[in-house]
């Protein structure tokens, strides 16, 4: 079936371009950053403990943050604000950032000062925020292609990365276990464990319920040892064993399984709530400090409290800290613990209730916005001025955790002390001289107390180094960011969708590396690297969306309207009533519903009508209803089906093609909806419309969207062996190529390939190349390399300089080689367009010899005061020449002159270079033959390369064979052909029968074979040759790297390195005399001797071969 024969309903492919137009290729990064700027920043400054700053120096003083703004990227030069573009930052080694300002309210004496931004422009600067390209704050957003080209940007560049200190950096997506969710697992001894990782703005902690000798014990690092779970429930207000059983469940097996735990509780003497608190107080760690025992109001006074109070605080605020406890009412937390115990008992009775930690519904993805929010909050809490001589010493800072804006708080206290002559506590500040004059209070300005570099440098350092360190959460991650790969357009786009995990790559565990069924449609099944990172580094599928946090209050209100009864109003017996179910919202108990299935149907209908966010999911799990609106969930859009009939009709697709509808119109009309991994488990999804049955709930938009951006470029991948698809505008294309714009930025060439054995140079996947094709430019690439330097300024008023070539030659006439300064212009910098040879100077830079002692006339220093520090071109091995492409002179943030020279090297394919088709059939160039020796057809066609047919049976790349047929038909018909994955039934890929029919109509064999003659003898070849165009790419082949140096070090330097004397005339080894002179015993002369280091085993082998009348000669280079 050709592409034009499918009906309109089958052409639901039109939804894909609409989806990418609405969301973009890297929508998850941009939307996450926009959510961070627009919502998370305001939540951080208004969070409990962050919003208000007080001071011990003046009890009436307070500082309150009321709003926060992130401006547009700008640069201030000569007191003039100008718009900053990403390309300027790349060229000038600057950071593409925007100012962060806050509205504040504070007291000055008896006056309340309010400083607001925007119209009043009185906001206070607290730092600069690196801006993600193509985000809402980026200057590129909303510009046309002409305007983008004017500022030096590619219109197809998707953005989603940062420019920090001139380098493009990508924050990789981080894979983590979900927070605030109950996970049932087994420990190393096979015991059942229920674990919850609680996460709030104030605290992160992990709570486990473990089994030991049949008892259920609570494990938490706030206690010295594991404590009885029934005793914990007693301390929370559960008085009797009957209440425990009513909460957990009254089923027969449950009482039996809980008996050892109840018996252990009685053995510990715990019968009442007070006894339970005393029992827990005896287990509290002595060194732990419960909440509120740290610095209060800026002082370092520890509040005294009893151990029982500490235990009560730990139960309320540390154990399962995400479950709220108001006025020590533990009812919601007790119910939560009962749910954990109930699920553990189910797992003891039936192992199928044990959760799979690798199940993707239990995973969350951390995007750039979430990671920056964690880092910004940590930096915001630490901001303030650098400790001065009137501030507290470092011992206080090490002994106690720094409170919100700790350094700022102490600096405010110092400033107020100086301004109003108010006596201050000596425990916080150094003693100051009483002779300091008292200044009037109105002179106090809060802006002078706030440092602007803490947040700026902290964000820049984290993004540039990739190290995310947040001490209060004990979070230390490395490799969070990477330099954006610019090998090709698709390598850059693929990096935006890459997912990494903190799992140790050296561990040989198959579970995290395996392809999970829950990843269907969410992650690409083919795009993962080889080696130790296999399965740990993944890529998102084409239509996958990563959610951001949504407000819980509207969702909770809707749930209560739909019949959810608050858990506090339901007695313990009704919690386990048959037919009812607990309703959870993001891991917290919301209430109970008597008809859970009806509630789930009604909630989904409300979502389809737009009454709740489109990314909110609801599903049934373990006799509970789970509602999820948290960020980091992976979801994808699907077509809704009513009793097996898709809601999307012909008229809807017609409105989309006419431009009257967009992708969002289908969502608001209730025709499409997003499903996450957990909700997909409650659904039945059909691959094609013909597979729909009465129970089908959803239909795939297109099957090939299960692949990612990179794997979607492979034509006919479902005809290949799976490992072939894991490697990285052709004639045979795919729909994905058009969607991502790769047809406009290609990375290969169509080569005419003959599949035959021709000489012995094509074994082991090697290929034979046509020299004439190389002369015409096949496989040729340009390598650009940047060399740069800056002219530094020193404290003694001297600075680096660039001098004229004549002056440099006169200063170093004895040491300089002739022609070293040949390409320099009059300003001492290489001229654009000059041809470079090895050793020539690009920038004739000189540095002062003395940078410490002050000088009186820095502009009249003699040449002898400077030493040469030139930037030279070291060249390539083999003496290949290069060309100076561009020269840039600019300045950096320090107002220092920056010189950059771009060198261009054109590389022609040679023996040993590596080429590959899109199907992973890669091989090196084994031989390059002249066109006269290559086989040819009767029409005069000569192949560009020849590959050995033995490469097909073992690799099973049938897709490559079909690509050759399709490309050949494309040449004959003059139109592109398609090989989209799984696209034949829907008309998105040409079938083999259709392609063969076109070849026959053009006068070729239906099988793609041709009749060839030998280029050497001119005789006809005995067999028909499979020949046609195939899209080939040139690979970056790493030949020389660290392993060769390791071998040299292990096998010679650290083993048996030995120095010998070799005659450069005859190539035989000589010897060194006692007087230090050398002599060749064969030539009887020491004039041409050279020293050489060899392994002693090599020297011994050479001498042993000479004794057998075999004379090895060492041929040395003249250099």
Sign of CA dihedral 905, 911, 917, 919: negative
**Mean of the pLDDT values across residues 1033-1038?**
76
The strand pairing partners of 847, in sequence order, are 867
CB of 585 closer than 8 Å to CB of 555: yes
For residue 1019, what pLDDT band results from cuts at 50, 70 and 90?
A: very high
Interval 56-72: pLDDT, tens: 767 777 888 888 999 99
Interval 129-150: pLDDT, tens: 999 999 999 999 989 999 999 9
Distance, CA of 134 to CA of 129 (rounded, Å): 15
CB of 373 closer than 8 Å to CB of 35: no
pTM listed for this prediction: 0.79
According to the model, what pLDDT value does residue 399 have? 28
Interval 5-34: pLDDT, tens: 344 445 788 898 888 888 877 888 999 999
Is the pLDDT assigned to residue 578 strictly greater than 50? yes
CB of 179 closer than 8 Å to CB of 364: yes
Helices (H), 609-662: 650-657
Pairing of strands 498-501, 173-177: parallel
Label residue 986 exposed, middle or buried (CB < 10 Å: 0-12, 13-18, 19+): buried
Question: Among 766, 790, 769, which residue's Cα sits nearest to residue 779?
Answer: 769
CB of 773 closer than 8 Å to CB of 944: yes
According to the model, what pLDDT value does residue 139 have? 94
- Reading the block at residue 160, the tokens are 């989603």
Is the pLDDT assigned to residue 389 strictly greater than 50? no
According to the model, what pLDDT value does residue 442 have? 47
According to the model, what pLDDT value does residue 947 have? 93
Interval 919-957: pLDDT, tens: 888 888 999 999 999 999 998 999 999 999 998 888 888
Which domains does the chain carry? 4-16+546-706 (3.90.1070.20), 183-361 (3.90.1110.10), 711-778+911-1034 (2.40.270.10), 791-890 (2.40.50), 1046-1107 (3.90.1800.10)
For residue 806, what pLDDT band results from cuts at 50, 70 and 90?
A: low
For residue 4, what pLDDT band results from cuts at 50, 70 and 90?
A: very low
According to the model, what pLDDT value does residue 1115 have? 86
Top mean pLDDT of 244-253, 797-806, 1051-1060, 1100-1109 is at 1100-1109
According to the model, what pLDDT value does residue 27 have? 85
According to the model, what pLDDT value does residue 10 have? 58
According to the model, what pLDDT value does residue 1048 have? 76
**Mean of the pLDDT values across residues 402-419?**
59
Is the pLDDT assigned to residue 1027 strictly greater than 80? yes
Interval 139-193: pLDDT, tens: 999 899 999 999 999 988 889 999 999 999 999 999 999 999 999 999 888 899 9
According to the model, what pLDDT value does residue 863 have? 81
Top mean pLDDT of 79-88, 631-640, 808-817, 1095-1104 is at 631-640
According to the model, what pLDDT value does residue 600 have? 95
Is the pLDDT assigned to residue 466 strictly greater than 60? yes
Q: What is the dihedral of CA 487, 493, 496, 499, to 10 degrees?
A: -80
Residue 484, CA distances (Å) to 131, 226, 490, 491, 1016 in order? 15, 47, 11, 9, 48
Q: At residue 45, what are phi and psi to the nearest 5 degrees?
A: -75, -20
According to the model, what pLDDT value does residue 1117 have? 78
According to the model, what pLDDT value does residue 568 have? 77
**Mean of the pLDDT values across residues 569-593?**
84
**432 or 692, greater pLDDT:** 692
Is the pLDDT assigned to residue 408 strictly greater than 70? no
For residue 1037, what pLDDT band results from cuts at 50, 70 and 90?
A: low
Share of the chain above pLDDT 70, in %: 88
Is the pLDDT assigned to residue 476 strictly greater than 50? yes
According to the model, what pLDDT value does residue 80 have? 80
Map residue 339 onto helix, strand or coil: helix
Distant-in-sequence contacts of 213-216, Cβ < 8 A, 24+ apart: 213/260, 214/257, 214/260, 214/261, 215/260, 215/261, 215/264, 216/258, 216/261, 216/341, 216/344
According to the model, what pLDDT value does residue 900 have? 93
Of 277-291, 328-342, 405-419, 870-884, the poorest mean pLDDT is in 405-419
According to the model, what pLDDT value does residue 82 have? 87
Looking up tokens 């039109």, which residue turns up?
A: 14
Q: At residue 637, what are phi and psi to the nearest 5 degrees?
A: -85, 145
Distance, CA of 730 to CA of 746 (rounded, Å): 8
Map residue 443 onto helix, strand or coil: helix
* Helix count and strand count (H, E) for the chain: 30, 55
Of 404-408, 467-471, 940-944, 1056-1060, the poorest mean pLDDT is in 404-408
Is the pLDDT assigned to residue 36 strictly greater than 60? yes
Q: DSSP string covering 506-575, please?
A: T---STTTS--GGGTTTB-SS---SGGGTTTSEEBBTT-EE-----HHHHHHHHHHTTPBPGGGS-HHHH
Interval 626-668: pLDDT, tens: 999 999 999 999 999 998 899 999 899 999 989 899 999 999 9
Interval 214-273: pLDDT, tens: 899 999 998 999 999 999 999 998 888 888 888 888 777 888 899 999 999 999 999 999
Map residue 1027 onto helix, strand or coil: strand
Is the pLDDT assigned to residue 904 strictly greater than 70? yes
Share of the chain above pLDDT 90, in %: 43
According to the model, what pLDDT value does residue 533 have? 85
**Mean of the pLDDT values across residues 385-391?**
35
According to the model, what pLDDT value does residue 47 have? 80
Top mean pLDDT of 429-438, 710-719, 962-971, 1047-1056 is at 962-971
Map residue 65 onto helix, strand or coil: strand
The strand pairing partners of 891, in sequence order, are 897
Interval 714-763: pLDDT, tens: 777 777 766 666 543 577 788 888 777 777 777 788 999 999 988 888 88
Distance, CA of 600 to CA of 467 (rounded, Å): 43
**289 or 777, greater pLDDT:** 777
Distance, CA of 861 to CA of 301 (rounded, Å): 60
Q: DSSP string covering 1006-1024, please?
A: TT-EE-EE-TTT-PBPSS-
**826 or 38, greater pLDDT:** 38
Q: Is 467 left (phi over 0), alpha (psi -120 to 50) or beta?
A: beta
Q: DSSP string covering 951-985, please?
A: HHHHH-BHHHHHHHHHHHHHHHHTS-EEB-TT-TT
Residue 492, CA distances (Å) to 144, 796, 887, 939, 999 in order? 22, 45, 26, 41, 37
Residue 381 CA to its chain's centroid (Å): 26
Residue 131 CA to its chain's centroid (Å): 16
Is the pLDDT assigned to residue 456 strictly greater than 90? yes
According to the model, what pLDDT value does residue 402 have? 35
Of 182-191, 381-390, 615-624, 690-699, the poorest mean pLDDT is in 381-390
Residue 351, CA distances (Å) to 181, 192, 340, 513, 1053 in order? 19, 9, 15, 23, 58
According to the model, what pLDDT value does residue 797 have? 86
**Mean of the pLDDT values across residues 582-607?**
93
Q: Is 419 left (phi over 0), alpha (psi -120 to 50) or beta?
A: alpha
The total of other beta-carbon atoms located within 10 Å of residue 388's CB is 10
């Amino acid at each position: 079936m050709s592409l034009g024969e499918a009906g309109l309903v089958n052409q639901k492919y039109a939804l894909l371009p609409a989806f990418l137009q609405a969301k973009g290729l890297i929508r998850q990064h941009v939307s996450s950053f926009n959510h961070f700027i627009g919502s998370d920043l305001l939540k951080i400054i208004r969070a409990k403990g962050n919003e208000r700053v007080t001071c011990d120096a003046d009890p009436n003083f307070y500082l309150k943050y009321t709003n926060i703004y992130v401006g547009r990227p700008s640069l201030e030069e000569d007191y003039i604000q100008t718009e900053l573009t990403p390309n300027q930052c790349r060229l000038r080694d600057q950071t593409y950032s925007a100012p962060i300002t806050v509205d504040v309210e504070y007291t000055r004496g008896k006056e309340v000062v309010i400083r607001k931004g925007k119209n009043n422009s009185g906001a206070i600067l607290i730092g600069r925020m690196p801006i993600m390209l193509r985000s809402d704050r980026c200057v590129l957003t909303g510009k046309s292609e002409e305007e983008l080209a004017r500022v030096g940007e590619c219109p197809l560049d998707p953005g989603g990365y940062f420019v920090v200190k001139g380098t493009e950096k990508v924050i990789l997506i981080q894979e983590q276990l979900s927070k605030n969710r109950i996970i049932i697992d087994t420990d190393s001894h096979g015991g059942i464990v229920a674990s919850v990782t609680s996460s709030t703005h104030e605290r992160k902690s992990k709570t486990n319920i473990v089994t030991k000798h049949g008892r259920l014990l609570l494990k938490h690092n706030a206690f010295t040892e594991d404590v009885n779970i029934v005793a914990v429930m007693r301390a929370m207000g559960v008085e009797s064993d009957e209440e425990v059983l009513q909460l957990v469940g009254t089923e027969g097996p449950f009482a039996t399984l809980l008996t050892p735990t109840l018996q252990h509780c009685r053995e510990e003497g715990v019968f009442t709530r007070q006894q339970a608190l005393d029992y827990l107080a005896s287990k509290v760690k002595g060194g732990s400090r419960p909440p509120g025992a740290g610095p209060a109001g800026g002082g370092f006074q520890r509040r005294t409290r009893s151990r029982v109070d500490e235990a009560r605080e730990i139960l309320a605020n540390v154990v399962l800290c995400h479950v709220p406890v108001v006025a020590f009412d533990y009812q919601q937390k007790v119910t939560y613990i009962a749910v954990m115990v109930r699920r553990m008992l189910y797992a003891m009775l039936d192992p199928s209730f044990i959760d799979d930690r690798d199940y993707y519904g239990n995973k969350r993805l951390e995007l750039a916005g979430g990671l920056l929010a964690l880092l910004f909050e940590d930096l915001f809490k630490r901001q303030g001025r650098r400790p001065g001589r009137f501030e507290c010493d470092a011992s206080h800072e090490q002994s106690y955790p720094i409170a919100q804006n700790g350094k700022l708080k102490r600096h405010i206290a110092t400033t107020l002390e100086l301004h109003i002559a108010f006596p201050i506590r000596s425990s916080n500040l150094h003693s100051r001289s009483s002779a300091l004059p008292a200044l009037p209070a109105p002179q106090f300005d809060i802006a002078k107390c706030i440092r602007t570099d803490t947040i700026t440098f902290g964000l820049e350092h984290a993004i540039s180094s990739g190290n995310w360190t947040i001490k209060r959460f004990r979070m230390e991650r490395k490799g969070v960011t990477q330099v954006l790969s610019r090998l090709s357009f698709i390598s850059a786009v693929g990096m935006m969708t890459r997912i990494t995990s903190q799992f140790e790559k050296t561990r040989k565990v198959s579970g995290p590396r395996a392809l999970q069924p829950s990843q269907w449609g969410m992650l690409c099944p083919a795009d993962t690297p080889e080696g130790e990172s296999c399965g740990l580094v993944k890529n998102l599928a084409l239509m996958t969306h990563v959610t951001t946090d949504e407000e819980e209050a509207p969702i909770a209100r809707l749930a209560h309207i739909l019949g959810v009864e608050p858990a506090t109003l339901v007695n313990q017996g009704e919690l386990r009533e048959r037919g009812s179910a607990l309703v959870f919202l993001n891991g917290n108990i919301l209430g109970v519903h008597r008809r859970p299935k009806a509630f789930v149907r009604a909630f989904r209908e409300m979502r389809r009508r737009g009454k709740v966010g489109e990314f909110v999911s609801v599903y049934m799990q373990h006799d509970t209803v789970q509602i999820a609106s948290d960020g980091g969930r992976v979801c994808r859009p699907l077509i809704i089906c009513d009793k097996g009939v898709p809601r999307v009709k012909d008229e809807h697709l017609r409105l989309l093609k006419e431009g009257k509808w967009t992708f969002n119109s289908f969502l608001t009309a209730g025709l499409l909806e997003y499903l996450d991994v957990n909700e997909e488990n409650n659904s039945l999804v059909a691959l094609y419309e013909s597979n729909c049955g009465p129970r089908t709930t959803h239909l795939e938009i297109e099957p090939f969207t299960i692949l990612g951006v990179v794997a979607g470029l492979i034509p006919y991948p479902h005809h290949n062996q799976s490992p072939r698809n894991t490697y990285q505008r052709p004639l045979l294309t795919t729909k994905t190529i058009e969607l991502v714009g790769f047809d406009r930025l290609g990375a290969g060439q169509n080569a005419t390939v003959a599949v035959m054995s021709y000489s012995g140079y094509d074994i082991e996947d090697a290929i034979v190349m046509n020299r004439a094709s190389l002369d015409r430019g096949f496989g040729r690439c340009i390598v650009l390399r940047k060399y740069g330097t800056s002219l530094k300024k020193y404290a003694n008023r001297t600075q680096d300089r660039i001098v004229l070539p004549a002056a440099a030659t006169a200063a170093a006439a004895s040491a300089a080689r002739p022609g070293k300064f040949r390409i320099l212009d009059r300003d001492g910098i290489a001229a654009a367009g000059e041809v470079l040879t090895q050793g020539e100077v690009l920038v004739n830079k000189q540095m002062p010899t003395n940078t410490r002692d002050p000088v009186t006339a820095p502009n009249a220093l003699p040449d002898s005061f400077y030493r040469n520090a030139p930037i030279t071109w070291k060249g390539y091995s083999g003496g290949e020449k290069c060309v100076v492409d561009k020269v840039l002179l600019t300045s950096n943030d320090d107002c220092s002159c920056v010189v950059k020279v771009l060198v261009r090297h054109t590389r022609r394919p040679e023996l040993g270079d590596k080429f590959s088709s899109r199907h992973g059939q890669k091989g090196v160039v084994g031989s390059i033959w002249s066109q006269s020796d290559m086989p040819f057809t009767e029409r005069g066609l000569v192949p560009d390369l020849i590959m050995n047919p033995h490469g097909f049976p073992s690799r099973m790349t049938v897709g490559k064979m079909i690509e050759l047929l399709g490309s050949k038909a494309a040449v004959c018909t003059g139109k592109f052909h398609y090989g989209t994955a799984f696209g034949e039934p829907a008309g998105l890929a040409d079938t083999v029968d259709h392609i063969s029919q076109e070849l026959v109509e053009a006068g070729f064999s239906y099988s793609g074979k041709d009749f060839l003659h030998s280029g050497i003898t001119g005789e006809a070849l005995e067999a028909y040759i499979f020949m046609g165009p195939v899209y080939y790419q040139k690979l970056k082949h790493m030949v020389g790297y660290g392993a060769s140096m390791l071998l040299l070090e292990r096998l010679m330097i650290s083993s048996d390195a030995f120095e010998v004397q070799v005659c450069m005339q005859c190539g035989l080894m000589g010897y060194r005399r006692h007087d230090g002179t050398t002599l060749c015993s064969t030539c009887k002369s020491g004039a041409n001797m050279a020293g050489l280091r060899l392994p002693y085993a090599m020297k011994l082998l050479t001498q042993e071969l000479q004794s057998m009348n075999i004379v090895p000669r060492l041929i040395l280079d003249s250099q």
